[in-house]
């Protein structure tokens, strides 16, 4: 492709926020009829760059050209006039209104008959395979269907350039595949898509070219067919990421560790048994509905599901922060259903919350204090009512080294740590208690690739030691990489469980969407 194929060219784009250079003289090009991946970690500058193209931000420096002509995009209205539309992570829809009403309101088409709007929505739905009912109320739609409404709004405005910001984050596998089909259909019609993401395997699957950003700068733009996940990861973080490919091998059924619990289903290896657990949330709505799970020693059991299906309540109930109305929790053979959080810790439970600063660590305390606060009452941390400072200092140094928490001073406030170091601190705090059961909620959310690979390796280590690990995550790739079994949660119930060697991605995706029939029946 030559210069005539360039649809968008951004030259020397710089955007500075107070204390942060979000974009540092960035060059970016988009060709006609291509899907261009914009890849980078959180904070790399991807979304900022595209918000400039869409007119939400004004660049401090730089120029934008559309089909070779210099343009001044001052607002989304200007962007739309050039055929540019953006679908954000957080949808801009009115739940109580229908799809057609949302489209009409967005486009300020109040004088246009709704039946005409609905008719055009049906045409676009059929044309692009988006399956949207214009008469349905938005509040009745799934997350994936709401995303399709946002895309319909863009197509209604005649978008030829579509920016998708982290579009797969909350979708089921089937919805992701449907989105990719739509993207390819857009491309086949000569339109172009910018696909903002931090997911390596998705850009490799659907994109033609990939631009990698790091710390506000472009590292390189590459042909997707000429790179692999390892190369992209190295570009994203600036160094080789140990363990990345190994973890991916596990996710496709490689050399998994044997599950000790597989011995004829023997219950002697059961370390956590949850039976018919029913829990209501703060709004009085049933969050867990007779949920049942069994976790064995030396296995990693992943709980997959779309956010909001009872995961938060499950973690809090297991931790002793929420009281069930019925059901039973048995930990290491002991009924702890009504036990306190402290009693559960003493019985061998370790919990890693997704709220790291709120529940994971005490933000007002130092790193040192966080590591020893729950141990000072025990021997050998204290003797005869006096703190054993020498032992505590040796313990802290050993843990800091073991978990690669690189700090010049262990007395710095925990709030000063990076996200990766905070999670390492939390793991160190939990794992140093030598728990028999670990419950982890979204353990790598928001972390960079290097920190993610490290954290996952620690869970594998715990498994090797015979610990039962329950990982509750909306990141299916993470569960595929680590789990010996995967259970799917939907509306507070476990609707199915699969052994790793029998993983059927399509069936998991269907169950995440509430379809529990067999793959054949659902076909």
pLDDT tens digits for range 51-78: 999 999 999 999 999 999 999 999 999 9
Asked whether 298 and 334 are in contact (CB, 8 A), the reply is no
Fold: same for 3-83+160-240 and 268-348+435-523: yes
Q: In 10 A of CB 144, how many CB atoms?
A: 20
Per-residue pLDDT, 299: 94
Tell me which residue of 365, 362, 394 sits closest to 380, measured CA to CA.
394
On the question of a cis peptide bond just before residue 274, with omega within 30 degrees of 0, the verdict is: no
Per-residue pLDDT, 394: 78
Per-residue pLDDT, 170: 72
The residue ranges of the chain whose pLDDT is under 50 are 1, 245-267, 518-523
The angle at the Cα of 292, spanning 256 to 318, to the nearest 5 degrees, equals: 85
pTM above 0.85, yes or no: no
Encoding tokens for residue 411? Answer: 């007395």
Per-residue pLDDT, 238: 75
The 8-class DSSP code of residue 145 comes to H
Tell me which residue of 279, 295, 379 sits closest to 333, measured CA to CA.
295
- Between CA 284 and CA 422 the distance in angstroms is 33
Per-residue pLDDT, 255: 37
Per-residue pLDDT, 376: 61
Sign of the CA dihedral with 498 first, then 311, 146, and 87 last: negative
Tell me which residue of 50, 301, 284, 267 sits closest to 161, measured CA to CA.
50
- Domain locations in the chain? 3-83+160-240, 90-158, 268-348+435-523, 366-434
Per-residue pLDDT, 92: 82
Per-residue pLDDT, 384: 65
Which residue has tokens 């700090």? 407
Residues with Cβ within 8 Å of residue 393, at least 6 apart in sequence: none
Q: How far is CA 201 from the centre of its chain?
A: 14
Residues with Cβ within 8 Å of residue 297, at least 6 apart in sequence: 260, 261, 269, 270, 271, 436, 466, 467, 468
Per-residue pLDDT, 520: 41
Which is it for strands 61-66 and 69-71: parallel, antiparallel or unpaired? antiparallel
H or E segment at 174? helix 173-188
Q: How far is CA 96 from the centre of its chain?
A: 28
Candidate CATH numbers 3.20.20.70, 3.40.50.300, 2.60.40.10, 3.30.565.10; the one for domain 268-348+435-523: 3.40.50.300
Encoding tokens for residue 35? Answer: 């899907």
Which residue has tokens 């190369």? 231
CATH T-level fold of 3-83+160-240: Rossmann fold (3.40.50)
What is the residue-wise DSSP string for 479-508? HHHH-SEEEEEETTEEEEEEEGGG--HHHH
Residues with Cβ within 8 Å of residue 73, at least 6 apart in sequence: 52, 53, 54, 55, 64, 79, 82, 84
Which is it for strands 84-87 and 161-165: parallel, antiparallel or unpaired? parallel
Tell me which residue of 294, 311, 292 sits closest to 484, measured CA to CA.
294
Q: How many residues are given for the chain?
A: 523
pLDDT 10s digits, 335-369:
999 999 999 999 999 999 987 766 777 777 888 77
Task: Determine phi and psi for 366, rounding to 5 degrees.
Answer: -75, 170
- Between CA 372 and CA 16 the distance in angstroms is 41
Per-residue pLDDT, 408: 64
State the chain's maximal CA–CA distance in angstroms. Answer: 82
Encoding tokens for residue 81? Answer: 């006039």
H or E segment at 37? strand 35-39
Per-residue pLDDT, 49: 97
Tell me which residue of 34, 84, 50 sits closest to 184, measured CA to CA.
34
């Amino acid at each position: 492709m030559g210069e005539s194929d360039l649809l968008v060219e951004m030259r020397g784009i710089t955007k500075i926020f107070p204390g942060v250079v979000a974009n540092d003289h960035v060059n970016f090009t988009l060709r006609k009829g291509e899907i261009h991946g914009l890849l980078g970690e959180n904070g790399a500058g991807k979304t900022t760059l595209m918000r400039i193209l869409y007119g939400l931000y004004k660049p401090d420096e730089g120029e934008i050209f559309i089909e070779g002509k210099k343009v001044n995009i001052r607002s989304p209205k200007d962007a739309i006039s050039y055929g540019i539309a953006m679908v954000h992570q957080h949808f801009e829809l009115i739940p109580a209104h229908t799809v057609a009403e949302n489209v009409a309101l967005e486009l300020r088409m109040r004088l246009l008959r709704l039946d005409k709007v609905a008719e055009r929505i049906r045409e676009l739905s059929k044309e692009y395979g988006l399956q949207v009912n214009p008469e349905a109320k938005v509040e009745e739609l799934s997350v994936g269907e709401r995303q399709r409404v946002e895309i319909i709004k863009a197509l209604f405005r005649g978008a030829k350039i579509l920016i998708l910001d982290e579009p797969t984050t909350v979708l089921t596998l089937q919805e992701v595949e449907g989105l990719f089909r739509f993207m390819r259909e857009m491309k086949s019609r000569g339109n172009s898509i910018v696909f903002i993401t931090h997911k390596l395997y998705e850009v490799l699957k659907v994109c033609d070219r990939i631009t990698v950003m790091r710390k506000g700068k472009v590292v390189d733009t590459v042909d997707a067919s000429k790179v692999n996940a390892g190369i992209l990861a190295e570009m994203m973080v600036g160094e080789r990421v140990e363990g990345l490919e190994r973890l991916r091998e596990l996710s496709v059924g490689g050399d998994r560790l044997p599950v000790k619990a597989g011995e004829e289903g023997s219950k002697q290896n059961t370390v956590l048994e949850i039976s018919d657990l029913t829990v209501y949330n703060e709004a009085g709505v049933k969050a867990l509905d007779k949920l049942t799970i069994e976790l064995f020693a030396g296995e990693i059991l992943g709980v997959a599901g779309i956010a909001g299906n009872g995961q938060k309540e499950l973690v809090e109930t297991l931790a002793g922060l929420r009281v069930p109305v019925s059901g039973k929790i048995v930990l290491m053979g002991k009924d702890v259903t009504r036990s306190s959080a402290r009693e559960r810790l003493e019985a061998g439970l370790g919990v890693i919350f997704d709220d790291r600063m709120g529940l994971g660590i005490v933000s007002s305390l130092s790193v040192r204090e966080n590591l020893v606060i729950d141990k000072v009452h025990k021997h050998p941390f204290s003797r005869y009512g006096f703190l054993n400072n020498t032992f505590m200092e040796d313990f802290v140094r050993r843990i800091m080294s073991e978990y690669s928490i690189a700090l010049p001073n262990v007395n710095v406030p925990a709030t000063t740590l990076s996200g990766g170091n905070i999670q390492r601190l939390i793991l160190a705090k939990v794992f140093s208690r030598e728990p028999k059961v670990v419950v982890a909620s979204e353990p790598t959310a928001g972390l960079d690739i290097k920190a993610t690979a490290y954290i996952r390796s620690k869970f594998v280590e715990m498994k090797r030691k015979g610990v039962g690990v329950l990982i509750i995550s909306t990141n299916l790739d993470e569960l595929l990489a680590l789990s010996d079994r995967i259970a799917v949660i939907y509306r507070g119930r476990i609707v199915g469980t699969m052994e790793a060697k029998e993983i059927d991605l399509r069936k998991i995706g269907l169950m995440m969407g509430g379809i529990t029939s067999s793959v054949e029946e659902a076909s």
